[in-house]
A and B are shown apart, each in its own frame.
Chain A
Amino acid sequence: MSEPGPAADAGLSPSATTPVLAPAHARRLLAEMLLVRRFEERAAECYTEGRIRGFLHLGVGQEATAVGGTAALEPEDRLVAAYREHAHALLRGVPPAVVMAEMFGRSAGCCRGRGGSMHLIDAQRRFYGGYAIVGGGMPLAVGLALADRLEQRPHVTACFFGDGAVAEGAFHECLNLAALWRLPVLFFCENNLYAMGTALGRHQAMPLIHRKAAGYGIEGMVVDGMDVLAVEAATRLAVELVRGTGMPVLIEARTYRFRAHSMYDPDRYRDKDEVARWKTRDPLVTFPRRLRDWGLLDDESLRELDAAATAAVEQAVAEAEASPPEPAAELFRDLVGEPIRQPAGALS
């Protein structure tokens, strides 16, 4: 789909196999966006209080992209993300308390405090991280898909990255390799229009990212990343295509982060009016409004959903705060693994 069209506006997917918007599903999407938003707002507070240190990159404003993009995935599908990935971790089911504990440097964190905000990993939930080198997760995603193809498993690997990654060699090497080897990778570009502080038009000679797919002979799509239903519908279509053909697909969701790049960023490179304009498209305003218009949500339900999200985040902070710090004595833990098997040569 080239633009968010009437199908998305009606809450309908362009895919024949996708059901129309059910009230329960609408509420789920909204609840997920609320959880992500409240989690990140609370994380920012924790950062200001000094409980979270290092880099903290927030995706406030990008929730529709993350929620719609992950809603189309099966639990067995794999996900690789970049460093603005709190949303993706939460949406794959990593408990908020575990994410928060990781950022607090606690043993209860998913990586026992070794990764922090930028390196959330939960292998059991098939969430493979959390990569802080721009484009760095992309080759790994190709490899996950290679293993699935050779072992004839039906999974899709969804690889999320920002528009900044499109300038990296890894992006081009990986699109080519995945297409050449016919690997089931969904390349998902969360295009928030800035590579840190450099606007898309200042880092891409040809800024229509989805069109770069043509250079590798694969499908490219673009979708309004501020519209959760459009993102979900487009992603569902893309995932079906990947699963059906075994070929990679590139999807570009145009979105916007409302806050600075990181907590260190004074945000001097964006026009205040531009930020204000995008805020009128806040998915946490527009989506509830549409659901109200369609009679799928009333003010009372919205308040309840929001209160539940806030309570879940408060609970997460409390649990993380109550859990012990990862002891310095554990510094050398998990540096080397146990031998897998005897060397083949040693048996002969």
Chain B
Amino acid sequence: MTYREAVREALREALHADPRVVLIGEDVGRYGGAYACSLGLLEEFGPDRIRDTPLSENAFLGAGIGSAVAGLRPIVEIMTINFALLALDQLVNNAATLRHMSAGQLSVPLVVRMASGAGRQLAAQHSHSLEVWFAHVPGLKVLAPATVSDARHMLAAALADPDPVIICEHALLYATEGEVEPAAGFDPWRAAVRRAGDDLTIVTSGGSLPKCLAAAEQLAAEGIAAEVIDLRCLRPLDLDAVAASVATTGRLVTVDEGWRTCGLAAEITAAIAERSFGDLVAPPARVCTAEVPIPYARQLEEAALPSVAGIVAAARRLVVPATAEEAPA
């Protein structure tokens, strides 16, 4: 099954399971979703539940909030994470605040899905990884399914949550294929060890996971055993899982398609430095997107993004003593 099909199956299952579930977003109905995730759902569930919207992100995301407060279980699709900036007021000022600010009177069981990330030469207004903007905000939860199986099961978990949950689906993952694991015991709020190893810990999420696994494969050929941790949930962060791994490896590389400055990798690095300083045998490293707006031309875009080679190089620098010859980039 592809990641795209997994998302669609999850949507279909949710719509069947609960008549209060509605899908709201731009071109989710007749068009079938910008990434074809909702193809066929309009025909199956009708226009009341599969609601095409005008290009009014702030209004329809806020309508999702209001309808959640009044008893629906809305899933709002934002076509691309950059477009979510047009709805930041509703997300940050309303969705995130209402439970706390109403002293528990209001609950906002809202799910927001959005495509994120670069790699398709869409330039700086369709390619950013702004997950950490949402992860910064108390009152929001952020999931980043990196595997087909997570894409299949995370939606149900998000819908079962009484608070707003944002699911960021990396646009390059939609076409990937994978196995769907059984749903029993599924817990998206915990990080997953995607590859075991005891020489260093690579922490990542979402669309960077395949790059990290490829890097770990190359490192293994050099005799370096990298443990790859997929955070899965960016708020709340499962720092216990990272700390447990670092306790074994003593080395940490965080790979994030967001920018380095004040980013996810900065948070992971700081948190591990605070709680696991004694476990570290080398300074933590970060592999992030270059500090530029993501450019259009393929060679420029590739140069901006974290690469397998870049991850391998960062890992090698941590493991191989500093006096050793620098490997080619």
Instruction: Using CB atoms and an 8 Å cutoff, list the residues of chain A in contact with chain B.
Output: 78, 110-112, 114-115, 119, 121-124, 128-129, 131, 133, 136, 138-148, 150-151, 169-170, 173-174, 176-177, 180-181, 333-348
How many interface residues does B have (CB within 8 Å)?
58
Q: In the bound complex, what is the Cα–Cα distance between A160 and B103 (angstroms)?
A: 23
Known A343-B157, A345-B186; contact A337-B70, beta-carbon cutoff 8 A: no
What's the nearest-Cβ distance from chain B to residue A118, in Å?
Answer: 10
Instruction: Tell me which residues from 84 to 121 in chain B have a Cβ below 8 Å from any Cβ of chain A.
Output: 89-90, 93-94, 98-107, 109
* Chain B residues, Cβ within 8 Å of A148: 70
In the bound complex, what is the Cα–Cα distance between A123 and B103 (angstroms)?
11
| Residue B179 lies at the interface, judged by CB distance under 8 Å to chain A | no
Q: Given A114-B100, A344-B156, answer yes or no on A139-B63 (Cβ-Cβ < 8 Å).
A: yes
B292 lies within 8 A of chain A by Cβ = no
B160 is contacted by which of A78, A173, A341 (Cβ under 8 Å)?
A341
* Residues of chain B contacted by A344 (CB below 8 angstroms): 13-14, 17-18, 156, 159-160
Closest B residue to A147 by beta carbon equals B70
Contact assessment for B160 and A339 in the assembled complex, using a CB-CB cutoff below 8 Å: yes
CA distance A180 to B47 in the complex (A): 13
A106 to B88, CA, bound (A): 30
**Residue numbers in B under 8 Å from A173 (CB-CB):** 54, 56, 58-59
Q: Are B186 and A343 touching (Cβ within 8 A)?
A: yes
Residues in B neighbouring A131, C-beta threshold 8 A: 93-94
Shortest CB distance B295–A (Å):
29
Per-residue CB proximity of B48-83 to A under 8 Å, as 1/0?
Answer: 110101101011111111111111101000000000
CA distance A145 to B185 in the complex (A): 37
CB contact under 8 A between A142 and B99, given known A136-B93, A147-B70, A346-B186: no
Shortest distance from the beta carbon of B154 to any chain A beta carbon, whole Å: 9
Which residues in B have their C-beta under 8 angstroms from that of A337?
99, 104, 107, 109, 161-163
Given A143-B64, A340-B160, A345-B13, A169–B58 Cβ distance below 8 Å? yes
In the bound complex, what is the Cα–Cα distance between A282 and B99 (angstroms)? 38
For window 1-32 of B, CB contacts with A under 8 Å fall at 10, 13-14, 17-18, 22
| Contacting pair A150 B48 (CB below 8 A) | yes
Q: Is the CB of A345 within 8 A of B153?
A: yes
Interfacial chain A residues near B59, Cβ < 8 Å:
138-139, 142, 170, 173-174, 176-177
Least CB distance from A182 to B in Å reads 11
Is the C-beta of B178 less than 8 angstroms from some C-beta in chain A? Answer: no
